[in-house]
A and B are shown apart, each in its own frame.
Chain A
Amino acid sequence: MNKKLKYRVLFIALVLLVGVAMLFLKDINLGLDLRGGVHLVLQVETEEALEEEVNQTRERIASALQDREIIFSDITIDQGVINIEGVTLAGEDATDDYLNQFTPAWNYRSRTREQLVTFSMEMTPAYRKTLATQSVNQARNIVAKRVDQYGVAEPTITVYGSGAVQDQIIVELPGVDDFERVKGLIKSTARLELKLVHPTNGGPYDSRESARSAFSGNFPEDYEILPYRDRNVEAGRTMYMVVKKAASITGQHLKNARRSQDPFSGQSEVLFYLNSEGVNLFSEATGANVGNRLAIALDDVITTAPNIESRIDSESARITGTFTVEEAEDIALTLRSGALPAQLRILEERSIGPSLGRDSVMRGIYASLTGIILVVLGMVIVYRLSGVNALICLTLNLLILLAVLAYFGATLTLPGIAGVILTIGMAVDANILIFERIKEELRLGKTPRASIDSGFSRVFGTIIDTNVTTLVASLFLFQFGTGPVKGFAVTLAVGLLANIFTAAFVSRTFFNLILNNREVKKLSI
């Protein structure tokens, strides 16, 4: 065997080896449609987060102004603008001074009329954008934490979106089979708040109206009415309680939370632990309000409102309710991960159960194998020994394709399997082009060696043309496609590239081997 040929064969053997090794070392990433799992596109309602920021700022300003004994008549919010009304001329400078610290995030201006000043402040567009982006990132991280705690292997959670702010999150959770639970887990806002119940008229009441009428028209500004569902309350009935708007303890004071079981009733409940700041606040709140009740509210629904017997210095408290094991588990999990800064709305869901996934894989593989066998048979019948060349090229093609997919961690989807089948068809085309050309040359009377030579050189241009055009299609498919379609494009493209290699190099080597040092009179083609 001449040197060149030897190197060629060695190179092919090397490729073969590397390919097989790759497949052993790395598993091929299976897409969701093959593995089963959940795919979600979530919209982060950033407007909410922004609103919340405006509300909280209003609270801050209100108490700060009061602390500094600055007189004003009202602070209102009107379409995102905070209006501080009725500031006396005496307090104008002090107010201006104080508000200055909110720049450059906020812009404010003042207007004087009849000896009273009104300050208006508003978030700058830049700050709005920053906040929005922040809340999206925060939401992403929280979702990631929840998903991680739930135990999903290899989740993908990415921020996405066209527009000024990327306000969408794409979540892919392979292998998850209880869709509803996971969706609930991701979306739950899990806002925990401990609020003091009104000392005299706290309730519980039958309805909001009766709660309101208890105050005979003077419902206090700093209190609100929340629904109350305790396990002591008849199932299905909702009562209402009057609690302070401002929470004494919120989710940010949590250190940990877990599910536990009430030793007496066997009921599942959630145990939460406060961090040091939380413990202090808790101690303060309970110490100053012995004899009152403290309402524990989850997502604005009070689940329990125990009496404060004495100052509590402990770091833990329980949330009780009619929870199932999963519900308690999920609440603990969401509390641990933190409350979402804004609501998440699902824009798109694609969930595939494992049985469907496995089914697809089986059928896909079965169809592929059948396709390959049919094609190989066809080639061998028509081209005889040269058909075996096609078989070798095909096998190598597939090997390279799968190995490249594995190496780059590319995802194999159901259309991707179809792409494999397509690659088979197209790979074979290259061989067919070569063989037909060789046949023609032979018919013209050329020697086998010469026919093979001119066959290959004449056909090369065509092979490039056909492969490039299909590559162009797969390029744009990849660009504009999503998930499964992207997988298809990748499979097709890699298959085509591998095809060019096998057609040009491997096929040639095969024929060279046949011709090698022998006087071949007739080609089996």
Chain B
Amino acid sequence: MDIVRNTKIDWLGKKWIFIGLSLVLGVVSLTSIFTRGLNLGVDFSGGTLVYVKFQETPDLGRIRSLLGDASGLDAEAVTRFDEPSANEVQIRLPRVEDEETTDMGLKSAVVREALFQEYDSERAAGRSMDLNEVSEAEIRNWITANDPGGILEGLGVNESSQKAEEIAGEITDLRISNRGLIEDYSELEALGFSDGFISSLREDFYLGSFAILSVESVGPKVGSEMRERAQNAIFFSLLGMLIYIAFRFRPIYGLAAIAALFHDVFLTLGLFSLTGREISLTVVAALLTLVGYSINDSIVIFDRVRENLKLMRRADFATIVNTSINQTLNRTIMTSGMTFLAVLALYLLGGEALNSFSFALVIGIVVGTYSSIAIASPIVFWWQLLMEKRKRKA
């Protein structure tokens, strides 16, 4: 089945429309980057990100003031994360300037302490262990040491420790399936534990109303190191590709491809800036992938141009380029389409963690396909024109 057949679109003829469009988008991107700036993740700017899940809908304002200047934490942003029903909050603490003495590992402890004082100190009522926080190993040790509700009665040493491990595993599994929070002891009853066991548990463990899901804490030195690495990765990748293409085709093709790449990355970054999405290391990975993909697109066209140059000796360069694009159009639509589908699945279903990453790819595929036709090809054409003019002069 053919998606399109025998198209005879004059792509190069429309180049000014394309350039115009790209210029507009480019200017928008530039403005956004200069005004709104790029939301650099903690990977690059340093700082701390703590993800917390709450049992009840958290009052962001309350948390903000809690973690504000008063506690010495100076939380930069406290935002809702994921769907509202998930009650998850992202807390961002600013970059630390004092490199010499700061221990980034302490940040999460301070956040936790502040949240505990505010939300759970009453709940805890003297109990020192939070069932929503302790590790599986701790629960297991507790069971072995206390034999709650006589659950280990009559069992030998090996069997006891096995049973304790089993039970601890069940409890933590319950916790994990609830995304980190067991809300009520009744959930444990549903698992089939005896009343004696649960009341024993209740005596030593309280159920915290919040759970820290993850912590990312990056010091300024590490942050700037990451920035450097990301820049190096991008720079060398582009250089490597440029060299390879210049080698396989002719230098101008390499330049044209790279120009298209810059265009793609720039527009994608612009969109990130507009939407305020965070740029982390994984986003850089996505950008590089996008670069690889976009170059593929250009290569396919260039390949065909090279072939047609031999086959269509009579035709002028513009016709050759247009024909090449038209001939590869089916492939372009299919490949972009298929890759787009795959990446769309990722964007829609991949969850929060991959959101920025897949967003970059979704945009990137669209822009990458566009730039091979709209940017790379015209550049090659103009160069050819320039060369022919020079030849005529000589």
Which A residues fall within an 8 A CB radius of B? Answer: 33, 40-41, 151, 176-181, 183, 187, 324-326, 345-356, 358-360, 363-364, 366-368, 370-372, 374-375, 378-379, 381-384, 414-415, 418-419, 421-422, 424-426, 428-429, 432-433, 436, 439-440, 458, 461-462, 465-466, 468-470, 472-477, 479-482, 484-485, 488-489, 492
**A473 in contact with B104 (CB, 8 Å):** no
**A363 in contact with B349 (CB, 8 Å):** yes
**A468 in contact with B135 (CB, 8 Å):** no
Interface residues of B in 198-231 (CB under 8 A from A): 211-219, 221-222, 226, 229-230
**B289 in contact with A473 (CB, 8 Å):** yes
**B342 in contact with A374 (CB, 8 Å):** yes
Task: Report the Cα distance A123→B46, complex, angstroms.
Answer: 36
**A354 in contact with B108 (CB, 8 Å):** no
Q: Which residues of A contact B330 (CB under 8 A)?
A: 436, 439
* Residue from the list A180, A414, A472, A476 in contact with B108, Cβ < 8 A: A180
B183 to chain A, nearest CB (A): 14
A399 to chain B, nearest CB (A): 18
Task: Report the Cα distance A255→B291, complex, angstroms.
Answer: 59
Task: Report the Cα distance A350→B218, complex, angstroms.
Answer: 8
Q: Which residues of A contact B295 (CB under 8 A)?
A: 466, 469-470
A492 to chain B, nearest CB (A): 7
A387 to chain B, nearest CB (A): 10
**B230 in contact with A462 (CB, 8 Å):** no
* B296 on the A face (CB < 8 A): yes
Question: Contacts A180-B108, A367-B348 given; 16 further ones with Cβ under 8 A?
Answer: A179-B212, A346-B106, A347-B104, A347-B222, A351-B108, A360-B351, A360-B354, A378-B334, A382-B1, A415-B354, A422-B342, A428-B339, A432-B335, A475-B240, A476-B240, A484-B282
Chain B residues with a Cβ closer than 8 Å to the other chain, count: 93
Q: Among A359, A419, A440, A474, find the residue whose CB has the most chain B CB atoms closer than 10 A.
A: A359
* Residue from the list B230, B241, B335, B350 in contact with A363, Cβ < 8 A: B350
Task: Report the Cα distance A491→B138, complex, angstroms.
Answer: 36
Task: Report the Cα distance A53→B282, complex, angstroms.
Answer: 43
Q: Which residues of B contact A433 (CB under 8 A)?
A: 300, 331, 335
28 A-B residue pairs with Cβ-Cβ distance under 8 Å, sorted by A, are A177-B172, A179-B215, A345-B101, A347-B222, A350-B216, A352-B214, A355-B175, A356-B51, A363-B354, A366-B349, A368-B346, A375-B338, A414-B354, A415-B357, A428-B339, A429-B296, A429-B335, A429-B339, A465-B248, A466-B296, A472-B237, A473-B241, A473-B289, A477-B285, A482-B229, A484-B282, A485-B284, A485-B285
Task: Report the Cα distance A475→B289, complex, angstroms.
Answer: 11
* B387 on the A face (CB < 8 A): no
* B80 on the A face (CB < 8 A): no
**B281 in contact with A425 (CB, 8 Å):** no
Task: Report the Cα distance A178→B229, complex, angstroms.
Answer: 31
Task: Report the Cα distance A346→B341, complex, angstroms.
Answer: 42
Indicate with 1 or 0, residue by residue over B336-372, a CB within 8 angstroms of chain A CB atoms.
0111111101101111011001100100000000000
Task: Report the Cα distance A176→B265, complex, angstroms.
Answer: 38
* B166 on the A face (CB < 8 A): no
* B67 on the A face (CB < 8 A): no
B145 to chain A, nearest CB (A): 8
Task: Report the Cα distance A33→B138, complex, angstroms.
Answer: 23
B102 to chain A, nearest CB (A): 8
Question: Is chain B's interface secondary structure helix, strand, loop, or mixed overall?
Answer: helix
Complex: chain B residue closest to A326, CB-CB: B138
**Which 7 A/B pairs are nearest by Cβ-Cβ distance?**
A346-B105, A425-B339, A470-B292, A363-B351, A480-B233, A371-B345, A371-B342
**B342 in contact with A425 (CB, 8 Å):** yes
Complex: chain A residue closest to B289, CB-CB: A422
Indicate with 1 or 0, residue by residue over B242-266, a CB within 8 angstroms of chain A CB atoms.
0011001000000000000000000
Given A151-B137, A477-B285, A187 and B338 contact (CB-CB distance below 8 Å): no
* B112 on the A face (CB < 8 A): yes
Given A350-B215, A469-B299, A473-B237, A384 and B1 contact (CB-CB distance below 8 Å): yes
Complex: chain A residue closest to B176, CB-CB: A355
Q: Which residues of A contact B288 (CB under 8 A)?
A: 473-474, 476-477
Task: Report the Cα distance A480→B339, complex, angstroms.
Answer: 26
B100 to chain A, nearest CB (A): 9
Q: Which residues of A contact B284 (CB under 8 A)?
A: 485
**A374 in contact with B136 (CB, 8 Å):** no
Q: Which residues of B contact A436 (CB under 8 A)?
A: 328, 330-331, 334
**B244 in contact with A370 (CB, 8 Å):** no
**A367 in contact with B179 (CB, 8 Å):** no
Q: Which residues of B contact A368 (CB under 8 A)?
A: 345-346
A177 to chain B, nearest CB (A): 5
Given A352-B214, A428-B335, A421 and B103 contact (CB-CB distance below 8 Å): no
* Residue from the list A181, A375, A381, A470 in contact with B342, Cβ < 8 A: A375
Q: Which residues of A contact B358 (CB under 8 A)?
A: 418
**A41 in contact with B343 (CB, 8 Å):** no
B316 to chain A, nearest CB (A): 22
Complex: chain A residue closest to B51, CB-CB: A356
